[in-house]
Structure 1
Amino acid sequence: MDFTLTEAQRELAALTRKILDSSADPWPDLVKSGVVPDSPDEFGVLEQCSVLVELGRAVAAVPYLSTMVAASALAEFGTAEQRSRWLTPGTVLSVALAEADGAKTTVPFAASAAAFLVSHDEQVFLVEAGRLDITPQELVDGSEAGWFEFSGGEPVPGLTPEWLVTRYTLGLCAFQLGVTERALELTAEYARTRVQFDRPIGSFQAVAQRLADAYIDVAAIRLTLWQAAWRLSEGLHADAEVATAKFWAADAGHRVAHTAVHVHGGTGIDMSHDVHKYFTAAKRAEFELGGATAQLLKLSAAW
């Protein structure tokens, strides 16, 4: 098992960061630059995760994860007609995986997507956006979402809900790694420069211990993410590894997010401050598709 980033991963990450640092509307630029490839076959799971880490570091509200998961699924399982119609450059796709009271809910980028892959019972269906009555929702971090009633669509032969959930969950873990990495960097910098009682607050033992614990938590998120991503990239069974990665993304992500807020003090609860963006992004990633307890239940069932 080798977690060393490939040249493609490093180049994609660097290009993604450059675009996010310089663009006010990054999605078209990500498409134009090739970070969002013309064909999902161009980049595998590892490359996609490298991009998602950078998106998490910037808390970028772009439909990369849902589009790449749906496009990868259609590339592997879709019919020739489905692939030719929907696998086109810049087309936004989404996945409807969560359900409440019989409706698909918190569907990411529901207003932007041209089509959806919808899990229903043991099947996945492709549904064009124009056939749905979508009600907008706003997630805790302000991200675009929506809910709708599902009444049928085109089956995607051989594609299962578990396939979609596994890959979308992995993407959430990669995004959470970027969120927590950057939140910790911002918090460490604040602790070095914020002076109280004539000393930087980072020199106080309690603060230093919180930051040290957060460093270990981020390392655990990173390790479990790349372990799960590597197994998927090698075509190996990875249900337990993805659940483990999501457990750490949720449990450790919770601790890192709260550490960032606590160390920043009153600044940390200012909704206009950058640290608040990282807190809410981490909370969304913590609970989306199941928090820490849900992942432990998955692991217990697998064993």
Structure 2
Amino acid sequence: MDFTFNEAQTAIGDLAANIFAQRSGIDRVKAVEASDERIDRDLWRELAQAGLVGIALPDEFGGGAMGFIELCVVLEQQGRCVAPVPLWETALAAAAIAQFGTAEQQRMFVAPAAAGEIFLTVGIEEFGPHDPTEPTMSAREDATGSWTLHGTKAVVPSAHVAAGVVVSAVTAAGTGLFLVDPADPAVHVQNNETTTRAIAANMTFDAAPAQLLAGGDAVNWLVDRVEVALAALQVGVGAGAVEQAVTYLNGREQFGRPLATFQAVSHQLADCYIDLEAMRVTLWQAAWMLTNGAAPGTAVLVAKWWATDAGQRVVHRTQHVHGGIGVDTDYPVHRHLLWGKQIAASLGGSSADLARLGAQLALGAAS
């Protein structure tokens, strides 16, 4: 399997890297973190104008008509700069509506999302240990064919600015994806600050009206893409942290020579390199399979586990080699630590990933 990017993918990565590097400097990130929304709307508009928000959406809705790989290329660059915009949330919610929604839903949400006019998000995480492909929040259909949601979703990112939320729920027939208005009176939103200083919400649905997008395998479709998108973001977070560590260690001298020349220090950066390469190869394998319609099998969970487990090692090591300055919560590398920990905890940690992976392997061995 060849993971070499083609010319278009390379150009997309270069464009994204340039925009994020120019618009997500440390002073700008600090200013956004101090704002009420915690979202950089100026950066969001520039990403939309460059066609990066809708890069993977169909061209009939103003998207770039590229694939999931191209979205992951952009997400990696976002992670490098820890840029505070709800990119994966909006892109994947819009992709779900484009894939499963009605023409009216697509008109109302997909085209505006691609243009950067609205934010969207997804709610697939719940409290307690659970498999995100097996939601416990319920959806009930009445005699008229209308649906209502009952239950709670946890840590829904950027729900405070979202025009719509795509949520997973269990139904009498299995599971399904539903589109819900977060401003509906039957939706109770409790906003909280996350580890990354962003805003996420615990959302309680008290017979909240919702529109069914799709049943069947739709929940798995979305969960797979969210997990791989988070892995792409984590690769960028780790790569950005390593770049900062290399710059610091080459410039900081002790005992008359740069810290980077000390064997104990260089070994830690070498371990980071190995972890990042493992994260990359598992990420692009999973992204390639999802893009090309291949059954992902265990590839998604393998990528998620590497992003969770190795991603935390990378951000911890890069902070550690900074010494005391790395503990300063205002220092740039500390933001990479916070992002790395937040991503690693999303949709379950490494133990939960291994449990799900083991269950998949056991099921395959038994069949």
* TM-score of the pair, normalised by structure 2: 0.80
Q: Which amino acid aligns with 1:154?
A: Q
- Residue 130 in 1 paired to residue 171 in 2? no
- Indicate conservation of the 8 Å contact 1:177/1:218, yes or no: yes
Q: 2:22 corresponds to which residue?
A: 22
Taking the TM superposition and a 5 Å limit, the aligned residue runs for 1:1-303 are 1-23=1-23, 25-37=42-54, 40-41=57-58, 42-87=65-110, 88=112, 89-90=115-116, 91-100=118-127, 102-121=151-170, 122-131=175-184, 132-150=187-205, 151-152=207-208, 153-158=210-215, 160-303=218-361
Structure 2: 5+ residue stretches without partners:
29-41, 59-64, 129-150, 362-367
- Indicate conservation of the 8 Å contact 2:315/2:340, yes or no: yes
C-alpha displacement of 1:34: 1.1
- Indicate conservation of the 8 Å contact 1:79/1:157, yes or no: no
C-alpha displacement of 1:157: 2.3
- Indicate conservation of the 8 Å contact 2:54/2:91, yes or no: no
C-alpha displacement of 1:123: 1.3
- Indicate conservation of the 8 Å contact 2:56/2:71, yes or no: no
Distance in 1 separating the partners of 2:69 and 2:56:
16
- Indicate conservation of the 8 Å contact 1:246/1:291, yes or no: no
Deviates most, 177-186 or 155-164: 155-164
Q: How many residues align?
A: 303
Question: Structure 1 stretches (4+) deviating beyond 4 angstroms?
Answer: none
Q: Deviations over 1:203-247 (max 9, x none)?
A: 221111111111100111111000100111110111411100111
SS in structure 1 of the partner of residue 197 of structure 2: coil
* TM-score of the pair, normalised by structure 1: 0.96
Distance in 2 separating the partners of 1:71 and 1:6:
25
Distance in 2 separating the partners of 1:157 and 1:148:
21
Q: Do the aligned partners of residues 55 and 38 (structure 1) sit closer, same or farther apart at CA in structure 2, a change above 3 Å counting? A: closer
C-alpha displacement of 1:7: 2.1
Question: Which protein is richer in strand relative to its size?
Answer: 2
Question: Which protein is richer in helix relative to its size?
Answer: 1
- Indicate conservation of the 8 Å contact 1:191/1:202, yes or no: yes
Specify the structure having the higher radius of gyration (Cα).
Answer: 2
Distance in 2 separating the partners of 1:226 and 1:207:
29
Structure 1: 5+ residue stretches without partners:
none
Q: Do the aligned partners of residues 114 and 186 (structure 1) sit closer, same or farther apart at CA in structure 2, a change above 3 Å counting? A: same
C-alpha displacement of 1:39: 7.3
Distance in 2 separating the partners of 1:58 and 1:106:
22
